[in-house]
Copies of this chain bind each other. A is one copy, B any other.
Amino acid sequence: MSARKMVYFFGGGSAEGNGSMKELLGGKGANLAEMASLGINVPAGFTITTEVCTAYYENNRQWPDGLEEQIWEAMGKVEKVMGKKFNDPENPLLVAIRSGARVSMPGMMDTVLNLGLNDNTAEGLIKLTDNPRFVYDSYRRFVQMYGDVVLDVPHEEFEKLIDAVKEAKGYQFDTEVTAEEWKQLVGEFKALIAEKTGKPFPEDAKEQLRGSINAVFGSWNNARAIRYRQINDIPGHWGTAVNVQAMAFGNIGDNSGTGVAFTRDPSTGENVFYGEYLMNAQGEDVVAGIRTPLPISTLKEQMPDVYAELESIYKKLELHYRDMQDIEFTIQEGKLFMLQTRNGKRTAHAAVRIAVDMANEGLIDKKTAVTRVEPAQLDQLLHPMLDPKEKVEPIASGLPASPGAAVGQIVFNAEDAEKWSEEGKDVILVRNETSPEDIGGMDAAKGILTARGGMTSHAAVVARAMGKCCVAGCSAAVVNDEEKYVMFGSVKLNEGDWITLNGTTGDVIAGKAKLVEPSLSGNFGTLMEWADEFRALKIRTNADTPHDAEVARGFGTEGIGLCRTEHMFFGEGRIKAVREMILATDKAGREKALAKLLPIQREDFYGIFKVMKGLPVTIRLLDPPLHEFVPHEEVNQAEMAKEMGVPVSVIKERVAALAEFNPMLGHRGCRLGVTYPEIYSMQAQAIFQAACQLAKEGIEVIPEVMIPLVGFVGEFEAMKKVVDDAASRTMEEYGVTIKYMVGTMIEVPRAALIADQIAEKAEFFSFGTNDLTQMTLGFSRDDAGTFLPAYVEQQIIEKDPFQTLDQVGVGQLVQKGVELGRQARPNLKLGICGEHGGDPASIRFCHNTGLDYVSCSPFRVPIARLAAAQANIEKPRN
């Protein structure tokens, strides 16, 4: 390590690093280096690499040899460029210490500003600036931040001291506090720190720097950063870089200020310069959302020269990066400094629009445009919207911080949001403002409403990243989170009351408004068409009803990959016949009951086939164990007994006989078909009656009959015979011929291991990765909640294996199934119908493994189309 370069300098029109070095320098550091090289005015500084962070943790939180030397060497260069000296009372160089991981984790890690101040340098700075109020304000900010971040003295303790001064003097705002009072507070802060830590505040700037660097390293593993990484799938071993950069002061006076901006609108994607700023403020004032900032357009009037310079810089940066940029700047006494540029976070809506617009503008090509949208993010566009046909009367309006609509019951803190959500309730989190501690509650809520803060406030940024509806800065809202109510003018809403948010317009509506389903149109439709040009995988859907099938066709599905027949057994007028069948003591009795179900099932299939005309429909025969169809509560058993005309003891006995220790591994799937072939025979008959009827009506039907839970080739053979018999009987009856296939799910590990045997008989495989995961890992999905969180926390498992396919384990069985299956039957049709079929990482795996299609829920079809295109762009199929 000691031989390694650990510190990279930037500034004065050149840099040791560049924009491609994100892994080493973090996103912020790499981009600062890149901007410096482009000749953009950034305060000089240096970046300590992510490798140092990793080494720090591996080395029991000690600095590697040589780091100290490299830091002071780089500091020397900064001093030279800035014309100031670190720790020099005459002309002190103050620096900011900021974290910077490979990908942005806004607000999750620590920052220390104004570092280098002590009683000596503060005096020197006053001499230089002749602005004691600025200096003592900066000084108190530094002591407060350092105390909080480095020395773990709670933030609130400092605030109490400030409040005491304000109260004593009758001040309302911090801006009213005088230089002398700030100076006095610095003293009080230091006393507080000495009391709490048992050590005096470090006056030595070098010691301050060392402490701050360690605090940034340490913050990589604070609870909220770990939580954020889990939610956003960021590996823990990446580590963070540390950026040490000369301070530019936005808080020197009224010709100073600070702002953040986007080169295009991050909410809509519109090609307009978009941002906010605050005069006489430091960066955290804007991001924290404590004062409501001004729109960037106002700067054009207020400081036209600065604005013009900013405009030329942002255009240069967007052209350079060929992507929408999120920039931070500070104006120090009329002079513009750029503090950061990075690819801007954006809503899915904006991501789609920007990708399509940039392709149309010729900035990028179509293929690049397709890679510019995270497939998972599209989920946002597929969220429900307020029904435009319904007239709703908003009770208030805020900033449209993250689009989509949400309906839920009001809660006033993150903890309640998580608790209520676990109870299955839809909740809206209502806060004055959010902070990084609220991240879990925001994740649990359907939508977020804040009374304060702008479009770049914490709530807005995080909600957009989560694809969650958010209305921010709704100043009409007066929140009382102690007594748990919120006033909108005279309208009072309490905890648990229903509320509707429209994140696209900023409207707040009392009660439950009607929402409508989204559709593909405009830029979204265009991007989907482009994606289709690049993908190799077909995308099917899991749909059990004509309505689901219709929705999926609207989203561009190419067939049904999984039509579950058991849901059809629960409906009105059906469950009774199902129960009659279950109670029957012999085959004749079961057949009598099944005869009642036949016309109903036929209608089900007729409807689905009709919607899917011309596209294949994979129908899975009955899968769940029979005990799912009988009542388990005493009162319902009595009701069933009455309905069936039998003593309740008969029902109880049958229910008891059907009970299983491990129903997941019990009498279900084709095991039902083997023991009661009449069930599958009826289902096959219903399928082919519906298909024949439609064929006669001139509608093309492509049925694929799927036998579930096969583990032995004999099971498949026996069940295929039942289906084939029903098919030929029915086709003869109707006098038409239907082309159909009989295949199986590969969901029992054994099936993957003997896939060659099965493929001799089966015409298609559909990998049922839900059950395959349960059995391969030995995880009951319904029970894993007791240990899975501990597994993820202890990093035994990277991701929930029911969301993202466990490629190392389960993936081996899928690959084996594919290989063996294709060996035995080269044209074997292969798909996947577990929930992984809608997960982008799993879709990439399916593409690389050579499957023909993935099948996912209707609302994930567009996500799958895009993910499949990106997989094929990444690794084209021959």
Contacts and interface: CB of A to CB of B under 8 A. Distances in A.
Interface of A: 660-667, 671, 674-675, 709, 711-712, 714-715, 718, 747-750, 753-754, 771, 774-780, 782-784, 786-787, 790-791, 794-797, 806, 808-810, 812-813
Contacts of A794: 674, 714, 718
A674 B795 CA distance: 11
A662 B711 contact: no
A821 to B, nearest CB: 15
Given A714-B796, A749-B776, 18 more contacts: A660-B783, A661-B780, A662-B783, A664-B665, A664-B780, A665-B665, A665-B783, A666-B780, A667-B783, A674-B796, A714-B797, A748-B776, A749-B775, A749-B777, A749-B813, A750-B810, A753-B808, A753-B812
Given A662-B663, A675-B786, A753 B776 contact: yes
A545 to B, nearest CB: 26
A795 B715 CA distance: 10
B674 A718 contact: no
A664 B667 contact: no
A718 B661 contact: no
Given A749-B775, A796-B718, A780 B675 contact: no
Given A662-B663, A794-B718, A797-B714, A671 B787 contact: yes
A714 to B, nearest CB: 3
Given A662-B662, A775-B775, A794-B714, A750 B787 contact: no
Contacts of A812: 753
A795 B714 contact: yes
Contact of A748 (B666, B778, B813): B778
A168 to B, nearest CB: 45
B665 A778 contact: yes
Contact of A778 (B749, B784, B813): B749
6 contacts: A661-B663, A661-B783, A664-B780, A674-B794, A718-B794, A749-B813
Contacts of A747: 778
Given A750-B809, A750-B810, A753-B813, A661 B796 contact: no
A630 to B, nearest CB: 15
Contacts of A662: 662-665, 780, 782-783
A117 B649 CA distance: 60
Contacts of A786: 666-667, 675
Contacts of A675: 786-787, 790
A718 B808 CA distance: 19
A786 B776 CA distance: 23
B783 A753 contact: no
A778 B797 contact: no
A845 to B, nearest CB: 15
A808 B754 CA distance: 8
B754 A791 contact: no
The 6 closest A-B pairs by CB, nearest first: A714-B796, A665-B780, A662-B780, A750-B809, A666-B783, A661-B782
Contacts of A780: 660-666
A801 to B, nearest CB: 10
A301 B599 CA distance: 81
Contacts of A661: 663-664, 780, 782-783
Given A662-B664, A749-B776, A711 B754 contact: no
Contact of A783 (B663, B775, B783, B795): B663
Contacts of A660: 780, 782-783
A472 B780 CA distance: 53
A665 B783 CA distance: 8
Contacts of A782: 660-662
A82 to B, nearest CB: 47
A774 B808 CA distance: 21
Contacts of A715: 796
Given A665-B662, A795-B714, A674 B809 contact: no
A767 to B, nearest CB: 14
A873 to B, nearest CB: 30
Contact of A711 (B711, B750, B777): B777
Contacts of A777: 711, 748-750
Contacts of A806: 750
A658 to B, nearest CB: 9
| Max count, chain B CB within 10 A of own CB: residue among A776, A778, A810 | A778
Nearest to A709: B778
A754 B808 CA distance: 8
B776 A809 contact: no
Contacts of A795: 714
A791 to B, nearest CB: 7
Contacts of A667: 783, 786-787
